[in-house]
């Protein structure tokens, strides 16, 4: 089966392009794509736990732990014990984190707008619909989807 016939190849290429562009536009803000994603969801959910943040970002808790450690070392977030659940750490943006996030978000949204502008409303709907079907089929193919 030639690579050009594999839908996966096209999907991968598109995601690679997305990632490369996001990496490039986030570089001036000093953030990686993963760090931006974490800060983005964090700004919408102050005090969220690392595990819950991991779920929102679609990664595992140890992965999020790595990302948060780097963000904390740079002073962009704080992690403090939860009042009641002593085992849970509440993660929050610092003032500097908010500033960096605002800066990065401007660049990231610019890319998203350029991407959206390429398509009509109908095309966008078609694309997201087809992608959703890809996700569904792929998850069905995975035994671990129980």
Instruction: Give the binding site for a copy of itself (CB under 8 A).
Output: 1, 3, 5-8, 10-18, 20-22, 24-25, 40-41, 58, 109-116, 118-119, 123-124, 126-128, 130-144
Cβ–Cβ < 8 Å for 76, 100: yes
Q: Which does 60 bind (CB under 5 to 8 A by kind): a copy of itself, DNA, none?
A: DNA
Q: Segment 27-86, which members bind DNA (CB under 7 A)?
A: 32-35, 49-52, 57-63, 65-68, 70, 79, 84-86
Say whether residue 4 binds DNA (CB under 7 A).
no
Q: Segment 6-25, which members bind DNA (CB under 7 A)?
A: 23
Q: Segment 91-130, which members bind DNA (CB under 7 A)?
A: none
Burial category of 76 from C-beta neighbours within 10 Å (exposed 0-12, middle 13-18, buried 19 and up) = buried
Nearest to 26 by CA among 113, 99, 94, 105: 105
Say whether residue 142 binds DNA (CB under 7 A).
no
Whose structure tokens read 């792929």? 138
Cβ–Cβ < 8 Å for 43, 101: yes
- CB 92, min distance to a copy of itself, A: 20
Closer to a copy of itself at the Cβ: 86 or 113? Answer: 113
- CB 82, min distance to a copy of itself, A: 25
Nearest to 64 by CA among 38, 97, 42, 45: 38
Q: Which helix (H) or strand (E) holds 42?
A: helix 33-44
* Tokens standing for residue 2: 């030639």
């Amino acid at each position: 089966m030639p690579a050009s016939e594999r839908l996966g190849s096209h999907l991968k290429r598109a995601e690679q392009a997305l990632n490369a562009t996001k990496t490039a536009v986030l570089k001036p803000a000093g953030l990686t794509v993963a760090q931006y994603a974490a800060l983005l969801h964090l700004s919408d959910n102050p005090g969220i736990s690392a595990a819950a943040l991991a779920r929102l970002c679609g990664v595992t808790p140890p992965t999020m732990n790595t990302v948060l450690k780097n963000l904390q070392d740079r002073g962009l977030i704080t992690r403090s014990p939860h009042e009641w659940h002593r085992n849970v750490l509440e993660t929050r943006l610092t003032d500097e984190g908010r500033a960096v996030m605002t800066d990065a978000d401007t660049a990231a949204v610019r890319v998203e707008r350029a991407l959206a502008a390429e398509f009509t409303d109908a095309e966008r709907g078609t694309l997201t619909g087809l992608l959703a079907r890809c996700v569904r089929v792929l998850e069905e193919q995975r035994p671990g989807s129980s």
